[in-house]
Amino acid sequence: MKSQALQPNPIIEFYDLHPPMGDIKSDVISGLSSTPKALSPKYFYDQKGSQLFDQICELPEYYVTRTEIDLLEQHGEEIASLIGKDSILMELGSGSSLKIRTLLSALKPKAYVAMDISKEHLINAATVLAEDYEWLEVHAVCVDFSLPWQLPMHLKGKRTAFFPGSSLGNFTPDAAIKLLNQIGHLVGKGGELIIGIDLKKDRSTLESAYNDAQGITATFNKNLLVRLNRELNANFNVEAFHHESIWNRAESRVEMHLVSDAEQTVSIDGKEFTLLEGESIHTENSYKYTLDEFTKLASRANFDSVKVWQDVNQLFSIHLLKFR
């Protein structure tokens, strides 16, 4: 990917590593040609999708965000003492940069680098953050984590990565190890990673978190089809799909699906794809771990565990890791 340094606002440095539009088209055609059909969750996050996800984070069923923020607020000073001052703090999947606020005052980093795939949302969030923390040097990088990448800027100092929200759960264990190792090379030997990991728990709690009573998650899932209709000139009948979330115990993951309520044919770039009534498009996985399972997975990516924090209900965990 080529980097492009832009200046959408004079108070932040912005770098665009976003993949070309053709990547979306080829990925979607490949996914709809597979059996079973699947679409990548990275395409959820257009401007509307990012806004919907922000709403999901505030839902009563979605325990992940509030539990993680509570842990960061409770243990932020301890995390800062273990890391030290004046680091280069890099947040992967920064979104609205909500969670980082609980760390900034404690860590007092030399610079902050927000990294996300949704360009407009990223620029807006980074700009607001820079306005609120006038002392902080803020960079923003639009990047697709599923592709090879490296930071385009050269910031000197100890590097610490922050990967919140259990986003690693969207990757298969093998892909997660690959991504963790890439993050390790980003922070360098002795560099640290603060990462949120969702824990295994009862089926009802897990499925409710991805199927809220207000239907926000369903709208978020279906917005993927709205985006494809708009950007690829596809012709999905969005109203002829319904959202499903299921706990796949054998694979230790929550799965999200869009299920077709009627037989329909979808056209993209001259290619046609038939969906039968009841056929699903698999749109996301969210893998869950025990503390021991994740520690072993991180070790395979050359990260050692420094400390782990979890809430009293054992819903969620935050890990501080060091790259060896």
Is 80 exceeded by the pLDDT of residue 97? no
**So what's the pLDDT on residue 117?**
85
DSSP string over 36-74: SEE--GGGG-SHHHHHHHHHHTTSSS-HHHHHHHHHHHH
What tokens appear for 212 in the block? 């809220």
Fold classification of 63-202+289-323 is Rossmann fold (3.40.50)
Domain limits of the chain? Answer: 21-56+203-287, 63-202+289-323
How many residues comprise the chain? 324
How confident is the model over 217-221, as a mean pLDDT? Answer: 98
- Contact (CB, 8 A) for 121 and 129: no
For residue 173, give the nearest of 298, 316, 282 by alpha carbon: 298
pLDDT, one tens digit per residue, over 24-48 is 999 999 999 999 999 999 999 999 9
Burial 248-273 (b: 16+ CB within 10 A, else e): eeeebbbbbbbebeeebebebeeeeb
Q: What is the pTM of this model?
A: 0.91
How confident is the model over 108-136, as a mean pLDDT? Answer: 91
d(CA 122, CA 113): 11
- Contact (CB, 8 A) for 89 and 113: yes
How confident is the model over 226-242, as a mean pLDDT? Answer: 97
